[in-house]
Structure formats: structure tokens, C-alpha cells
Amino acid sequence: MNETTNTGVKTAPPAKPHLQVIQARPHPHRCWSCGDMRAEHFCGECGHVQPAEPTDFFSFFGLPRQLELDEEKLERNFYTLSRKLHPDVYSRASEREQQWSLEKTSQLNDAYRTLKDPISRTEYLLMLEGIQLEEQSKIATEQARAFGTEKKQTVPAELLEEAFELNMLLEEAKMGGVDEDVRAQLITTRENLTARLNTMQEELRAAWKQWDSGDSEATAAMVDVLNRRSYLRNLLRDINDVLSSLA
Amino acid sequence: MADDRVVGIDLGTTNSLVAYMASGPSLAHPHEPGKGVFIIPGEDGVNLVPSVVALDDEGHMQVGNSARAVLLRSPERAVYSVKRLMGRGVEDVQEELKLFPFRLAEDLAPGEVLRIHLGERTYTPPEVSAQILRQLKRNAERFFGSPVKQAVITVPAYFNDAQRQATKDAGRIAGLEVLRLVNEPTAASLAYGLDKKQNGTIAVYDFGGGTFDVSILKLKDGIFEVIATNGDTHLGGDDIDNLLIAVAVQDIAGDLKIDIRKYPDAVQRLRNAVIDAKIALSSQDAAQLEVELPDGKLYQRTITREMFEQMVEPIVKRTLGPCGQALRDAGLVAAQVDEVVLVGGSTRIPLVRRKVEELFARKPHTELNPDEVVALGAAVQAKILAGGSEETKDMLLLDVTPLSLGIEALGGVTAKIIHRNSTIPASATEHFTTGVEGQVSVAIHVLQGERELAKDCRSLARFDLKGIPPMPAGLPRIEVRFLIDANGILHVSAREQRSGKEAEIQVQPSYGLTDEQVETMILDSFDNAEKDLADRQLIEARNEAETILTALTKGRRDEAWTMLGFGEQRKVAELEAKLRRSVSGTD
């Protein structure tokens, strides 16, 4: 087992399951070429599956740790590897090979799922780089409530005014005083915020380009976009909750 | 190898089937034995085996149509729709108990595997299902003339871990090695995909006897990749029957002043009449409901299709929610779906077809028999696992887990670690530590479901990580690996990283059988197997004799009979007398 640990992982409080999923350790010999890393998964001679090694998801696909990525090619690779590694192919093989196939395929699926989505790909890369994102999920909110503490959450400056107005609106809605006017305002706000979400996508892509060209400072920009995005998504979720409770 | 045959089994709520795919060059005749994929009929020559298990008057276990006969005579000696109880606890099934005549053991504790009364004994749901599986296994063995030991069994896509495990246990108890559990809608797509090798997005709408599933798949060069799945494991044709029964019960109480619910056999007759009417209404504009009541009176009602549709529309509408959710999860709108496939007996109802057509704005596929398509698909997957053939060589199924996997975090909230619609096998690794100095075990609660709070999710298992070396609080670092295999079943392993010690895990399955319990049940069934076999051979021999005698009676009426010589006629008569004597014997 590789002893490298992820610096981005906080130690869990007493008996509390960790919220941060540690999905992989960096591979000892990271491959930066798009070359034939796939030979690692099965023997080039006989095609048999090889034991699963701890690896990061980029290395698993023989990819450099970059964020701009040919998603169609990734899908093709995923299908090619699935055809060779899937437990269906090994259902009559030895128990050992069945186990390897199971482990390899779960790695393959975890890797593909993480890399194909732009947001999870970015989050994963930041995690590999040891960078912690703000926990703004609903779970964090619930947990903060359970602990009786305030959830750490920075309101992005650009959203301050809108967030304030929206919260007033939402409070009003929750008190039961929702008229057509409030409803219409909520819908307009939702449209504005959704548009904002799309521009964030562009910002993120810009930061990717920076990172891919070797600028390690780009991680700060990515963290910023992801935190703002997550805040925005929480606002959208609150709006949707209120609107659907009215329906 | 004859003994290497892997069959595909659809273990349904209402009916079960077994199918096989032969290696053949042609799929032009899919239902012709020896060519392509086909259903193996039961001894009565019928493809559908009703999922009914009963004890007849002599105490013999009956399955299928013969069990249905017992069900009509003495409902207390029969069990049906047992699939609704698979992998569930007593607190989960309160709603079902109001609607189905399940007689649960009285001494059940919460969290315990259910037991159902059947005759003098009680049986767990996997044991009852195993009876059905054993019948299908026998049907296949009779057909091939050789033992069948391996099978692919289908389950509703929306089945949780406990329900899947229970199905696998049932297979083991029946003496079958379950090579794979396949999701029913996915299996259906395989059957449809056999002759239509094309790329695109398909939606499978599977409305069966007791469950509803919808799956969205992407087909690409033989890869069947499930993108999203959703459903309701307690929504099916049964619910339509129950609704119609409830209406009739009220009707009877009002008009004829009889509380029919006090008479189980009359309720059973009503159920059958309602089902017949429901089926008739799929092809007719009106159907007659006629039930004999305990006091000899006759309850009669005409149901028009219009009335029927008005009554069942709310049930049909309940299927649309999961469809919408599956589409949203797939990131698609209905118009982006290229093909829609209908599966399950309830999709014969014209209203269901109309609603699906409206939702997806296209005519759904109904070419394959909706009762058989899942079993046929299971046989295709069985073929793939058995090494494949020319027809299956490019086919690969990539399925997903229908429900998110989580663990209970502080404050009773669910921390999701594997999200729903993740391609399986899938895994997640979590790290845990201790809270008190010298603590040597940590309790972990695994959950399945989408809700925020642990109490609203399905409890999968509670286990203790034991054997942690005594260390100051917070210092141990225990890595726990959760792996969902290709059957959708969870496996957990753990190790303490600081000391490198493997931590011992005791997984306490919620509502699951332990390995030991399953082993005992396998032994129990072996003890009875020999007697069962002798009984069955006798019954089969008798049936065969009856067939010959019937044929003989018919033959005598034929002109050809007169053309036989007197000697030959006498010889036939002698043999007939001998056969009749044997039939009345018992050995």
C-alpha cells in the first residue's frame, strides 16, 4: 500500500465519519504522456487483467494532470477499457482474476465518473493538489446546526446585495405571505442567478487554460469560482424549495 | 458443455419465467427452441409460471398454476406476491399487510427477517422465492435433460441492497449459483437490442405486477450504458387490482349488505374476477364482473373502459414522477429520447400506453411480449457471462446503482459517499478515527437513499470496526472501503493505517439472512429434496398417463380406429387397463 497521504484531508472529529472522500493516492510514477498506460491494466501479451494498484484517476487513463480534456476520447477509452476489464468478461475466470477485474472496473468507473464532469474533475484535481474547498453543502449546514455552530460561509462580494434581497424575499415567502408578486420576483431572481452560473463556467475554463499551461497559481482562481458557484447553487436550491412548496 | 448452461430467470411479482439463449447463427426465429433466445415452458406447456407457492392437501409444496388452484380453494395455504416482502422488515410492510393476505409470524422483532405462515411452518421470503426458482430450475432441467446449476436472475432496477441480497439468497437456497443480478429494464433493453444494433438513447418503461422502473440508456456499438434509473418498488398491477377490489368491497357492502372481507375465499374469487376484468378491458370497451358471494348471492357489475381509466389514472400518474426524475438525472428532456420500450404486463393497459406516448411524444415499442422480454434479456446476459456467442460478442452492459450510498454522520445526517446513477462496480473510501483514548472499536451505520437525514434513509447495515490498537483519541486512522459490485450489492473492508492492522468488521445486515442461516436453509431443502423428487416423478408420470388416455379416447372416435385389426384393438385395451391400474396406485 502506498504510504503517501493527502494533505488536503482534515482529521475527523470524534466518531464522525469523514465528509471528504479520499478517492485515490497519487501514483508513484506519474505518466505525463498520453502513451500506452493501458498496458498497466492488462497484459499486452495475453490480455489478462492485472492486479489493481492504487492510482490517481488521471494516471488511470494515462492522462496528464490537466483540465482541458477531450471528453469524446475519454468516453472511447472508457468503453475500450470496460470491454477488457468488466466482471462480465471474467465470470468464468479464477476467483483471483474476478476480484482484480472487480477492483479494476470500480477504479475505471470512479475515474470516468470523476473526470467526465467538468466540476468534479476540477474539484478532484484541487484535492490531488492538496487544496481544500469550503464545505457549503446542505450536510455541512445540517451538521453545523447539530453542533450548534455557525457554518463557515463567505458570501461572495458580487453576490452580497442579491443574496441579501433574496433572503428577505425567502423569509417573506416562508412566513406564508407569498403573493404573485413575490413569486414573480423569485422566478426573475432564479433566471438571473442561472445566467450567472453559466458565466462562472467560462471563468472556470479560463482558469483551466492557465493551469494547463503550467501556471500553478490558477488553483486560487478555481477555488474562488467553485466556492462562488457552490454558494450560488445553494441560493438556487433555496428558491426552488420555496417555489416547489408553493406548487 | 451441457452442464455449463446458464439460464436467465425473471423472478416476477406475479409471474416468473426461465429463458435460454442457444448459440445459433440465426435469430430470425427467436422463439423456436434451438435457435436464438427462447422461453422454456413449464410441464403444462405454458411459459408463465405464476409466482404462487402453496401447500396442497397432502402437504406437498406446489408452485405455479397448481398452487393457484390451491390459492382459490384454501387461500390460507398459499402465498403470492412474495416479492413485495423480499429484503424488508416488519415495520416496512404495514401498508402491504392491509392489502395482501400475508400471514406473518406473530413473534417478529423489528429488524428481523420476516417469516410467513404457510401450512404448519413459517418461511422467510427468500425461502418462498426459492420454491419458485426451484420450479423454474426443474423446468429447465426437464427441457435440457441435464442439470442446470447457474443462472442470471433479474431484479427491479430500484431494488435496494437488502432486496438484492435476499434475491441472491433465494437463488442459493434453490441450488443455483447466481452469476449475476440484472436490472429488469436493462435486461429488456438487451432483448430489444439483439436485432437492432443501433446507437442512440432509449427509455425503458417497466410497469409490472408489483414494481415500476424506468431506465434511460445510451446505446453505442453494442455497449448498453445505463445513464439513469428511477422507480417505485411498490407500484404495479397489484395496486390496480387492490383499488378495484376496494371499490367492489364497498359496492357489495352497500348493495348486498355483506362484508366480504370476512370471507377470504370470496375475496380471492373477487380478486380473480377483478384481474380478469382488468385484462379484458385492455381489448374490450366493457367487462362483466361476476362473483359468487358466501350467501349464494351473485355480485354483478359492468365496468366500462371509461370507468376503469378514471379509477386507475391516479396510479398510472404515479409512474410519471420517476420518469421525470430519471430524465433530469440523465440531463435529458423527453424529446431527446430516440426510442421507448414498454415492459411488464401492466403496459398492456391502453391508458398506460397513451400516457407514455404523451410523455415522450413518440410511439413506444411493443414488438416483444411484455411478459417475456425481461426473461429473454436475462438469457442474453446469461449467454454473455457463459462466454458469449457470435450474436453477443460486442454486447456489454454497464449498469448503475439506483440509490445513493451514505453513512450516518454526527447529528443524524446522511453523508453520501456513492451517488445514485453511478456506474457499477463503484467504490468509495472513507477515513474514521476514535473519540476517546484507548477506544478499540468504532460503530458505523451504512444507509441507502436520497434523503438528508439518516432516519429517512434505508438502513443497510450497522457494523463495528474492531481490533483498533489502543491509541490517544483521534490518532488511529481507519480506512474503510465501500465497494458496490456488478450486482448492486455492497461489500465493506477496513484497515487501520497507522499500525497497518486489518480491522475486523462485523457487518450486521438489516433484514438480511446471515450466511449460516442460508446454509441451514440449503440443507433443509436437501432433506426434503429426495421426497419432493419422488412425489414429483409420480405426479409427472400420472399426468403423462392421463394425456395418453385422453389421446386414446379421442383416437377411438377417429376413423383410423376402425381400420385396426381386432387383435390390435384388444392389445390396446389391455394396455389401457394396465395403465389405468397404475394411475390409481402410488408408486
Q: What is the pLDDT of residues B416-435, one digit of tens each?
A: 899 999 999 999 988 888 88
Evaluate if residue B240 carries a pLDDT over 60.
yes
A13 has a pLDDT exceeding 80: no
pLDDT surpassing 60 at residue B31: no
* Residue at A27 is within a domain: no
Q: Which chain B residue has the Cα nearest residue A146?
A: B411
Q: How far apart are CA B208 and CA B213, in angstroms?
A: 9
Q: What is the mean pLDDT of residues B45-53?
A: 94
To test the contact with chain B by mutation, choose from A78, A109, A120 the residue with the greatest count of B C-beta atoms within 10 A, namely A109
Query: In terms of domains, do A150 and A211 share one?
Result: yes
Cβ of A14 within 8 Å of Cβ of B415? The answer is: no
Find all residues with CB under 8 Å of B361, minimum gap 6, and list them: B334, B335
What is the residue range of A74's domain?
37-128
Residue A31 lies in a domain: no
Q: From CA B173, how far away is CA B527, in angstroms rounded?
A: 12
Q: Which of A9-13, B166-170, B465-469, B480-484 shows the highest mean pLDDT?
A: B166-170
**B255: annotated active-site residue:** no
Q: What is the DSSP letter of B277?
A: H
Q: What's chain A look like in SS3?
A: CCCCCCCCCCCCCCCCCCCCCCCCCCCCCCCCCCCCHHHHCECCCCCCECCCCCCCHHHHCCCCCCCCCCHHHHHHHHHHHHHHHCHHHHCCCCHHHHHHHHHHHHHHHHHHHHHHCHHHHHHHHHHHCCCCCCCCCHHHHHHHHHHCCCCCCCCCHHHHHHHHHHHHHHHHHHCCCCCHHHHHHHHHHHHHHHHHHHHHHHHHHHHHHHHHCCCCCHHHHHHHHHHHHHHHHHHHHHHHHHHHHHC
Determine whether the interchain pair B436/A14 forms a contact, defined as Cβ–Cβ distance below 8 Å. yes
In-domain check, residue A28:
no
- Are A48 and A111 found together in one domain? yes
Q: Which long-range contacts link A194-203 to residues 24+ away (Cβ below 8 Å)?
A: A194/A236, A196/A232, A197/A229, A197/A232, A197/A233, A197/A236, A200/A225, A200/A228, A200/A229, A200/A232, A201/A118
Nearest to A83 among B396, B411, B434 (CB): B396
Let me know whether A189 and A169 are in one domain. Answer: yes
Lowest mean pLDDT among A47-56, B125-134, B328-337: A47-56
pLDDT value at position B545? 75
Question: Can B206 be counted among the known catalytic residues?
Answer: yes
Cβ of residue A214 closer than 8 Å to a chain B Cβ: no
Rounded mean pLDDT, B478-500:
85
Label residue B320 by pLDDT band (50, 70, 90).
very high
Q: Are residues A230 and A161 in the same domain?
A: yes
B535 touching A (Cβ < 8 Å): no
Residues A220 and A123 in one domain: no
Q: What is the pLDDT of residue B581?
A: 76
Confidence of residue B121 (pLDDT cuts 50, 70, 90): confident
Whether A196 is in a domain gets the answer yes
Kindly report the backbone phi and psi dihedral angles of residue B317, in degrees, each rounded to the nearest multiple of 5, phi listed first: -65, -30
B186 is written with which cell numbers?
436493462
Model pLDDT for residues B215-224, shown as the tens digit of each residue: 999 999 999 9
Rank A25-39, B107-121, B235-249 by mean pLDDT and report only the highest.
B235-249
- The per-residue pLDDT for B418 is 93
pLDDT value of residue A1: 34
Query: Any residues with CB less than 8 A from the CB of B200 and at least 6 apart, and which?
Result: B218, B219, B338, B339
Residues 6+ apart with CB under 8 A from A83: A89, B223, B396
Closest alpha carbon to B103 in B114, B88, B91: B114
Share of chain B above pLDDT 90, in %: 52
User: What is the pLDDT confidence band of residue A159, given thresholds at 50, 70 and 90?
Assistant: confident
Least confidently predicted of A94-98, B181-185, B356-360: A94-98
CB-count exposure of residue A141 (10 Å: 0-12, 13-18, 19+): middle
How many domains does the structure of chain A reveal? 2
Report pLDDT for A5: 32
pTM over 0.80: yes
Q: Are residues A116 and A144 in the same domain?
A: no
For an interface test with B, the pick among A75, A82, A91, A108 (most B C-beta atoms closer than 10 Å) comes out as A91
B83 given a catalytic annotation: yes
State the virtual CA torsion across B579, B583, B586, B587 in degrees, nearest 10. Answer: 30
pLDDT at A146 over 70: no
Q: Does A112 touch chain B (CB under 8 A)?
A: yes
Is B347 near chain A, with CB under 8 Å? Answer: no
Q: Which pLDDT value is given to residue B175?
A: 94
DSSP class of B72: H
Q: From CA A62, how far away is CA A68, in angstroms rounded?
A: 15
pLDDT in tens, A217-247: 899 899 989 988 888 888 888 888 777 776 5
Per the CB < 8 A criterion, the answer to whether A86 and A80 are in contact is no
Q: Is the pLDDT of residue B27 over 70?
A: no
Q: Higher model confidence: residue A175 or residue B279?
A: B279
The hierarchical CATH code for the domain B405-513 is 2.60.34.10
- CB-based contacts of B288, cutoff 8 Å, min separation 6: B277, B300, B301, B302, B303
Cβ-Cβ contacts under 8 Å for B97 (sequence gap 6 or more) = B104
The CATH fold of domain B237-316: Actin; Chain A, domain 4 (3.90.640)
pLDDT value at position A89?
Answer: 92
Q: What is the model's pLDDT at position B430?
A: 85
B342-352 tens-digit pLDDT: 999 999 999 99
Cα–Cα distance for residue pair B453/B460, rounded to 1 Å: 14
Question: Parallel, antiparallel, or unpaired: how do β-strands B177-183 and B150-155 relate?
Answer: parallel
According to the model, what pLDDT value does residue B58 have?
Answer: 86
Domain shared by A176 and A199, yes or no: yes
Both A93 and A170 in one domain: the answer is no
Confidence band for A19, pLDDT divided at 50, 70 and 90? very low
The residue out of A80, A108, A128 marking a domain boundary is: A128
| pLDDT score at B359 | 95
Tell me if residue B524 falls in helix, strand or coil.
helix
Q: Rounded CA gap, B371 and B347, in Å?
A: 10
**CATH T-level fold of B2-235+318-398:** Nucleotidyltransferase; domain 5 (3.30.420)
pLDDT score for B443: 84
In chain A, residues with a C-beta closer than 8 Å to the C-beta of B404 are none
Residues A75, A170, single domain; the answer is no
In-domain check, residue A153:
yes
Q: Are B428 and A139 a contacting pair at CB < 8 A?
A: no
Q: Are A6 and A18 in contact (CB under 8 A)?
A: no
Give the pLDDT of residue A40.
Answer: 62
Which residue bears the cell 494516471? A59
A16 touching chain B per CB within 8 A: yes
pLDDT of the residue at B566: 74
| pLDDT confidence band for A141 (50 / 70 / 90) | low
Q: Verify that A113 and A145 share a domain, yes or no.
A: no
Chain-wide mean pLDDT for chain A? 75
Residue A18 has pLDDT above 90, yes or no: no
Q: Is the pLDDT of residue A100 over 80?
A: yes
pLDDT over 70, % of chain B = 91
Question: What pLDDT was estimated at residue A10?
Answer: 32
Q: Does A164 touch chain B (CB under 8 A)?
A: no
User: Is residue A49, in this structure, part of any structural domain at all?
Assistant: yes
Of B494 and B377, more confident: B377
- Span B496-502, average pLDDT: 73
Q: Kindly provide the ipTM of the predicted complex, given to two decimals.
A: 0.82
SS3 category, B502: strand
Query: Helical H runs in B424-565?
Result: 515-556, 559-562
Sequence ranges of the domains in chain B: 2-235+318-398, 237-316, 405-513, 517-584
Q: Please state the rounded mean pLDDT for residues B547-562.
A: 74
Tell me the pLDDT of chain B averaged across its residues: 87
Q: What mean pLDDT do residues B302-319 have?
A: 95
Side-chain-side CA neighbours of B290 within 13 Å: the count stands at 2
Confidence at residue B442, expressed as pLDDT on a 0 to 100 scale = 83
pLDDT more than 70, % of chain A: 70
pLDDT band at B327 (very low <50, low <70, confident <90, very high): very high
Q: Is B10 designated active site?
A: yes
**What does the pLDDT read at residue B182?**
97
Please report the pLDDT score of residue B553 as a whole number.
76
Answer yes or no: do A89 and A166 share one domain.
no
Could you tell me which residue, B242 or B575, shows the higher pLDDT?
B242
CATH number assigned to the domain comprising residue A81: 1.10.287.110
- Residue that wins the pLDDT comparison between B325 and A177: B325
Interface of A with B in 118-157 (CB under 8 A): 138-139, 142-143, 145-147
- Same domain? For A119 and A150 the reply is no
